Structure 1
Amino acid sequence: MILLRKILFPFAVLYGFIIAIRNFLYDKEILTSYAFDLPIIAVGNLSVGGTGKTPQIEYLIRMLSKNYTLATLSRGYKRKSEGFILANSTSTVEILGDEPFQFYSKFKNIQVAVDANRKNGIEQLLLQSQKPQIILLDDAYQHRKVKAGFYILLTSFGDLYSDDFMLPTGNLRESRSGAKRANIIIVTKCPHTLSSVSKNDIRTKLNLSVNQELYFTFIAYDNFVLGENRKINVNDIQESSKLLVAGIAKPEPFFDYLQRTNDVCLSFPDHHDFSENDILDIKKKSINRIVITTEKDYVRLQGKLTAEQLFYLPIKSQFLEEEHNFRKKILNYVGTSSRNR
């Protein structure tokens, strides 16, 4: 695979050139970006998957939905539907996609919408009888047709965009210079004990602009795994035989947190749509075991395995430090933007 990526280097250069021209046309306003008269926060990354975008969106939902009417707008990756859809009680994971369905299942006080055309999605949300006061754009950093008021860029510790290269040789969707559009850059999935020296090294590598702020977060795992009818303390199942199932971009930390000697791990591609054969394989390997999966995979597996056997491990994004400053920055943007409406 590494050799193939090196062979495809000319295509990476060509792809980077095309994306650079596109960004130049938007920067010079030759191509039109549409702005809207309400606070819009875009959360995304330069690379393909695995940066912890979903827990960061959920952090913002928890932070903002208590005081504002909030909507999330996603593309709905791999959903079996088209166009604009506003989640309701009849929505399924197939209609919305796994991440939007997860948002809808967990946060009943917000609006959850999907539309590949973010401009149309925002316009449709603003036509609703209950208009959102804030919109969170999920994975829309490269969606330049809409101009968000605030951009949060995520990059994973140990896989920084500054060390990466354009697709297909690397994993970047656009050049590293695209980071300059971000108001805030968050290095996600950091070790809990990240030193000040390491933080300064990362800051130097990322080469932030003077108006950008840098934060460091880690993934906090819950003390319980949750099922449809009950929850179990993680300590109580440490030595139990388990089947761990993950269909996410980088499942290693999930496996490392739970895996013990007698456990079996099954890894699938990100956003995997579990087939009948997959389910049969899971059932076969889970005899006399409970099945623990990620929250994103749980919404796809629910109903395909027995409720007594299937559990998921909740996660949250937490700041290593300066969380107060991050929250203040977001609330200042929302407050200023709302007052200017």
Structure 2
Amino acid sequence: MNYLRLLLLPISAVYGLVVWLRNRLYDFGVFSSTSFDLPVISVGNLEVGGSGKTPLTEYLIKLLSGYRLATLSRGYGRKTKGFRWVKEHDDSTLSGDEPAQIKNKFPAIDVSVCEDRVAGVKQLQHNHDLILLDDAYQHRAIKPGFNVLVFNYYNLNKLRFLLPAGNYRDLFVERKRADILLISKCPQQLNTTRRDEIIRKMKPLNNQKVVFSSIGYSNDIKNIFAGQLKPVNTINKDTHVLLITGIANPLPLVNEIRKYTDNIIHHFYPDHHLFSTKNMLKLVEAFQDIEATDKVIITTEKDAVRLNITENRKHIYTLPVYQWPIEIVFLDKDKSVFDQEILNYVISNKRSDRIH
């Protein structure tokens, strides 16, 4: 942690008091929460970014593919306002990078954005069987029927300071509102002792399940412009990788690339960074300066959406820019536990005139 941020602890204390008071006002019914008569599943976290909510949302889309579902998110970083349907191959400036990513991967489903979650669900409820809310845990004005709260494994032992001194935007005690506590980005070989230790620290309520997952990397990387696939094992110790990221925590991707090559030049930007022409020209120059003939540009799926907007594409479309798809992988028997909890909720809350 940056120790200079500790100077901001007094502000964090005030922020924490405001957050605590706001949650209590919702708990006591002073502020109202709107619920709906169809299954609404929220995927959220307590920290700012980097927990793995988007891969989880994509997993849920595949798990619930037999239903007419829609996803709804705020559309962080977009330049539009209000409710909007996300279209395939939209510039991310219109909808945000994560909704655009989801629509490109699942063009058959309805993806929408709206900063007012209640208004958004009202737009969706009559033509869909269920709705997935992305990053809505702090939006107490809406009351989902089921909450999945995601925690990054590598942040579990860090101090839980609130913004701006730390990265928590909500109090740790608020985990009590979740139905499932999902520990993401775990090492694939997580022993029972460590699992039990984490569960004790999370102190789940009797009705809460704690499940563990890791990130699985695809065997192929995909050209973000032409779409062709390239086996990742074509990257070797002689390959030079120019890595460009604008995500909260690129370290897992860096470590994955190091399994193949140590020749990595990393252009690192903040989460949701809107790449500029200057960034693109710097990328082109850096790629041209690599003297090796075996060289490639790698980025994440989320970054690929922002790199592929019109203003950026014209500068880099001739370069070998590849995204590396990821997916959530549950550990041990946790997949069955997670799937069953989700399906039980959806089935028991279905609308007979909608879900079949």
> Which TM-score bucket, shorter chain as reference?
over 0.9
Q: Would you say 1:320 and 2:331 are equivalent positions?
A: yes
Deviates more, 1:239-248 or 1:191-200: 239-248
User: Structure 2: how far apart are the matches of 1:62 and 1:231?
Assistant: 21
- 2:286 corresponds to which residue? 285
The answer (yes or no) to whether the contact 1:155–1:161 under 8 Å persists in 2 is no
The answer (yes or no) to whether the contact 1:161–1:172 under 8 Å persists in 2 is no
- 1:236 corresponds to which residue? 234
- 2:3 corresponds to which residue? 3
- 1:296 corresponds to which residue? 302
> Structure 2 matches for 1:98-247, cutoff 5 A?
98-126=97-125, 131-160=127-156, 163-227=159-223, 228-239=226-237, 240-247=239-246
- 2:19 corresponds to which residue? 19
Q: Would you say 1:45 and 2:41 are equivalent positions?
A: no
User: Structure 2: how far apart are the matches of 1:161 and 1:46?
Assistant: 14
1:237 Cα offset (Å): 1.5
User: Structure 1: how far apart are the matches of 2:319 and 2:277?
Assistant: 20
1:262 Cα offset (Å): 2.6
TM-score w.r.t. structure 2 length? 0.91
Count of residues paired in the alignment: 337
1:160 Cα offset (Å): 2.1
Where do 5+ consecutive residues of structure 2 fail to align?
A: none
- 1:64 corresponds to which residue? 64
| Local SS of the residue matching 1:338 | coil
The 1:279/1:90 distance shift into structure 2, 3 A limit, reads closer
Q: Would you say 1:93 and 2:92 are equivalent positions?
A: yes
1:3 Cα offset (Å): 2.9
Deviates more, 1:261-270 or 1:105-114: 261-270
Where do 5+ consecutive residues of structure 1 fail to align?
A: none
The answer (yes or no) to whether the contact 1:242–1:286 under 8 Å persists in 2 is no
User: Structure 1: how far apart are the matches of 2:74 and 2:9?
Assistant: 29
| Local SS of the residue matching 2:32 | coil
The answer (yes or no) to whether the contact 2:88–2:104 under 8 Å persists in 1 is no
User: Structure 2: how far apart are the matches of 1:26 and 1:290?
Assistant: 51
Deviates more, 1:162-171 or 1:69-78: 162-171
CA offsets, 1:299-331, max 9 Å, x none? 111224225511100000010022112101100
The answer (yes or no) to whether the contact 1:153–1:184 under 8 Å persists in 2 is yes
| Local SS of the residue matching 2:249 | coil
- State the one-letter code of the partner of 1:233: P
The 1:309/1:218 distance shift into structure 2, 3 A limit, reads same
1:124 Cα offset (Å): 1.4
1:263 Cα offset (Å): 2.5
User: Structure 2: how far apart are the matches of 1:162 and 1:203?
Assistant: 16
- State the one-letter code of the partner of 1:51: S
CA offsets, 1:272-319, max 9 Å, x none? 100111000111111253211000001111224225511100000010
The answer (yes or no) to whether the contact 2:91–2:306 under 8 Å persists in 1 is no
The 1:307/1:143 distance shift into structure 2, 3 A limit, reads farther
User: Structure 2: how far apart are the matches of 1:120 and 1:307?
Assistant: 42
| Local SS of the residue matching 1:26 | helix
- 2:276 corresponds to which residue? 275
1:238 Cα offset (Å): 2.2
| Local SS of the residue matching 1:142 | coil
Identity of paired residues, percent?
41
CA offsets, 1:232-267, max 9 Å, x none? 111111231121111110001101111423321111
- 1:32 corresponds to which residue? 32
User: Structure 2: how far apart are the matches of 1:3 and 1:272?
Assistant: 24
| Local SS of the residue matching 2:350 | helix
User: Structure 1: how far apart are the matches of 2:117 and 2:157?
Assistant: 25
User: Structure 1: how far apart are the matches of 2:24 and 2:73?
Assistant: 25
1:6 Cα offset (Å): 1.3
| Local SS of the residue matching 1:170 | coil
| Local SS of the residue matching 2:143 | coil
User: Structure 2: how far apart are the matches of 1:69 and 1:309?
Assistant: 37
User: Structure 2: how far apart are the matches of 1:92 and 1:24?
Assistant: 39
User: Structure 2: how far apart are the matches of 1:29 and 1:93?
Assistant: 37
